[in-house]
Amino acid sequence: INWPEKTKLMQRNWIGKSIGADVTFNVDGCDDKIKVFTTRPDTLFGATYMVLAPEHPLVEKLTTEERKHQVEEYKNSVKSLTEIERTSTTKEKTGVPIGAYAINPSHNKKIPIWIADYVLQSYGTGAIMAVPGQDERDWEFAEMFDLPIIRTVQPPVDFNGKAYLGDGPAINSNFLNGLNVKDAKAKMIKWLEDKNIGKGTINYRLRDWLISRQRYWGTPIPIIHCEKCGEVPVEESDLPVKLPYDVDFKPGGESPLTSHSDFINVKCSKCGSDAKRDPDTMDTFVDSSWYYLRFLNPKITDAIFDKDKAEKWTPVDMYVGGAEHATMHLLYARFIHKCIRDLGLLNSNEPFTRLLHQGTITYQGAKMSKARGNVVNPDDFTNIYGSDVFRLYLMFMGPFEMGGDWSDKGISGTERFVNRIYDLFEQHKNMLSEVNPSIEYNLNTLSQQEKFIYRKTNQAIHKVNEELEHFHFNTAIAALMELLNNLKDLTACSKEIQAYVLNRFAVMLAPLAPHLGEECYNILGNDNSLFENPLWFKPDENALVEDSINIAVQVNGKLRSTIEMPLDSEEGTVKDAVFSDEKVTKHTSGKNIVKEIYVKNKIYNIVAK
Ligand SMILES: [Zn+2]
């Protein structure tokens, strides 16, 4: 997929795929076992203690009598913290030992079991083996509580940090010694599997997505809660479950649909007894995960979406949206799309082939906000300048993906540009009733001025094509501004060429300033709409190449003149021109020409003494 690298990286980190191993530790003196997931099974010999999440189910059972009070106190102190606070790398490490010990299976020695808030019950197994030698967080914790630190990877000689996370030969690790990290991992996984105390596994940071919301406005969850049967799906023939409109959705601490008795009370679709619908609705991100499929034909009633249309129109070629959706909408949509594909309803693997994030428009250098009072209201400006000027100015402000800073002065510059265009077309009103321009002209049949304008027009078409294709709207507009400047001598051209040029100008305007483009197109005398059958012109390839070129003339290493010559002129022709140029002869007359070097189409060098 052609997406910004940064967005892909954010998703990759969010999914957080890590390859490692599950390792089972026995608890000293009882039959309980503690399973951990580690991405570094190669460091098992350096596991000097173990940490459980305070919420881990074994904590209560394993805590020794004399530790009970301290452990309870600690558990209570953690309750008020969010996961982000708990896992913050800058937060001072806290934790307490529970008095029990686990057996490190690599050397069968006892290691103490602690609880600490930085281990989350919701990630992995809620337990970790701590390897301070190779993990910064574990090192910090070990230092704080005076726990042993054993390096199992030899850091480079010039390494003077604490935990070493890089590659190197294994040390203090018995049968792994000397192996690099990758090989040591593989060997340890094999060893664990052979001994039946662990196995290689893949873990994800990704959590489940809780989709129910206690809101009225949303897609009902098609589940019926029956006292006898439990959660029963609504019969397919009764789908979709429709939201009632007469709902009191004042906040009352529970889902608004709960109080709508006609909606909420139903018969169980399995046993027929009185039951209740699920009162929650789905997170709107569920809907936005597949709307691009449904919107193709929202009227279809016998399928989730129109399969034929989806086949034709998806994946979406170009998707534009804010970067803030990187790990939400843009991730959900990919998952749902792949799920629908796996159900056999789609052939494509991705919902959006190409993704672009629009930049932010700031004002006075800051993000617009009501609180700051620096909000630019589009209506104020469209009322004065019209929507085309407003739109053009937004596009011209800066690269699409970067945005820019709003300026009241800037928009009046755009207005002047628009007025100049409008005046130009007004001067050529109904021109097409007099002449009928060709699709292409032979350059040799054109006058000097016509040739120049014909070239500039076709070069602009080429440039605007390219820039629009890449969402470079600002440079596309700049190309039109340049073209407008190059049309000063338009009236010196034949009427046919004038019409040829202006027709193309109007068409190029259309995607950027649709009202203006259409109006200009009609002023010329076209009686159809530009948008009926969208019209676009291909540039005349012959006109894209310049037939003359500027050649720099140097005398003794100093630039003395620039002469315009036909493209690919031979040395003799150029020499004649060079020595009839006063700016050159001024520096060569009365001197001996020692050497002349001509680089075709570029430079003419003279050494004179
Ligand atoms: Zn039932």
The answer to which of 130-134, 544-548, 573-577 has the lowest mean pLDDT is 544-548
Q: Are residues 487 and 434 in the same domain?
A: yes
Q: Are residues 102 and 88 in the same domain?
A: yes
404 part of a folded domain: no
What pLDDT is recorded for position 308?
95
In the reported structure, the alpha carbon of residue 234 is separated from the centroid of ligand 1 by a whole-number distance in angstroms of 11
Q: Are residues 451 and 573 in the same domain?
A: no
Contacts of 185 (CB under 8 A, 6+ apart): 20, 21, 40, 41, 42
For the chain, the average pLDDT equals 93
582 part of a folded domain: yes
Residue 458 has pLDDT above 90, yes or no: yes
In the reported structure, the alpha carbon of residue 276 is separated from the centroid of ligand 1 by a whole-number distance in angstroms of 10
Domain boundary pick from 156, 185, 203: 203
Mean pLDDT over 211-240 rounds to: 94
Note whether 604 and 596 are within 8 A (CB).
yes
What pLDDT is recorded for position 248?
82
What pLDDT is recorded for position 533?
86
Mean pLDDT over 151-158 rounds to: 95
Q: Are residues 195 and 91 in the same domain?
A: yes
Q: Structural domain tally of the chain?
A: 5
Mean pLDDT over 216-244 rounds to: 94
Residue 89 has pLDDT above 80, yes or no: no
Domain boundary pick from 309, 337, 356: 356
pLDDT in tens, 569-583: 889 889 999 999 999
Long-range contacts from 253-257, C-beta under 8 angstroms, 24+ separation? 254/214, 254/279, 255/214, 255/215, 255/216, 255/279, 255/280, 255/281, 256/214, 256/215, 256/216, 257/216, 257/220, 257/281
574 part of a folded domain: yes
CA 246, chain centre distance (Å): 40
In the reported structure, the alpha carbon of residue 221 is separated from the centroid of ligand 1 by a whole-number distance in angstroms of 17
In the reported structure, the alpha carbon of residue 233 is separated from the centroid of ligand 1 by a whole-number distance in angstroms of 10
In the reported structure, the alpha carbon of residue 232 is separated from the centroid of ligand 1 by a whole-number distance in angstroms of 7
CB-side exposure of 262: number of CA atoms within 13 Å?
A: 7
End-to-end CA distance of the chain: 63
306 part of a folded domain: yes
pLDDT in tens, 28-65: 999 999 999 999 999 999 999 999 999 999 999 999 99
267: left (phi over 0), alpha (psi -120 to 50) or beta: beta
Q: Are residues 193 and 44 in the same domain?
A: yes
Nearest-Å Rg of the Cα atoms of the chain is: 37
In the reported structure, the alpha carbon of residue 263 is separated from the centroid of ligand 1 by a whole-number distance in angstroms of 17
Q: Are residues 538 and 561 in the same domain?
A: no
> CA 310, CA 294: separation in Å to the nearest integer?
9
The interface predicted TM-score of the complex, written ipTM, equals 0.97
Q: What residues sit around ligand 1, an ion, with C-beta below 5 angstroms?
A: 226, 228-229, 268, 270-271
In the reported structure, the alpha carbon of residue 268 is separated from the centroid of ligand 1 by a whole-number distance in angstroms of 5
In the reported structure, the alpha carbon of residue 275 is separated from the centroid of ligand 1 by a whole-number distance in angstroms of 7
In the reported structure, the alpha carbon of residue 240 is separated from the centroid of ligand 1 by a whole-number distance in angstroms of 20
pLDDT in tens, 547-557: 778 899 999 99
> CA 568, CA 550: separation in Å to the nearest integer?
11
Tokens, residue 208: 């489940």
387 part of a folded domain: no
Determine what percent of the chain is predicted with pLDDT higher than 90: 80
What pLDDT is recorded for position 418?
97
How far is the CA of 571 from the CAs of 566, 581, 609, in angstroms?
Answer: 12, 15, 22
CATH number of the domain encompassing residue 91? 3.90.740.10
In the reported structure, the alpha carbon of residue 235 is separated from the centroid of ligand 1 by a whole-number distance in angstroms of 12
275 part of a folded domain: yes
Q: Are residues 54 and 165 in the same domain?
A: yes
Note whether 115 and 24 are within 8 A (CB).
no
Mean pLDDT over 211-222 rounds to: 93
572 part of a folded domain: yes
Domain boundary pick from 543, 563, 579: 543
Q: Helix (H, G, I), strand (E, B), or coil: what is residue 316?
A: strand
Q: Are residues 45 and 170 in the same domain?
A: yes
3-state DSSP helix/strand/coil percent for the chain, to nearest 5?
40, 20, 40
Q: Are residues 53 and 178 in the same domain?
A: yes
Q: Are residues 316 and 458 in the same domain?
A: no
Note whether 522 and 535 are within 8 A (CB).
no
Q: Alpha helix (H) ranges present in 295-438?
A: 307-313, 329-342, 378-385, 387-396, 408-426
In the reported structure, the alpha carbon of residue 249 is separated from the centroid of ligand 1 by a whole-number distance in angstroms of 28
Residue 507 has pLDDT above 90, yes or no: yes
Note whether 165 and 135 are within 8 A (CB).
yes
CATH number of the domain encompassing residue 533? 1.10.730.10
What pLDDT is recorded for position 305?
96
160 part of a folded domain: yes
What pLDDT is recorded for position 364?
86
In the reported structure, the alpha carbon of residue 210 is separated from the centroid of ligand 1 by a whole-number distance in angstroms of 25
Q: Are residues 537 and 568 in the same domain?
A: no
What pLDDT is recorded for position 216?
92
> CA 514, CA 521: separation in Å to the nearest integer?
10
Give the domain range for residue 503. Answer: 414-543
Residue 109 has pLDDT above 90, yes or no: yes
DSSP string of 9-35, one letter each residue: HHHHHHHT-EEEEEEEEEETTSS-EEE
Q: What is the largest CA-CA distance in the chain?
A: 116
Residue 606 has pLDDT above 90, yes or no: yes
Q: Are residues 101 and 174 in the same domain?
A: yes
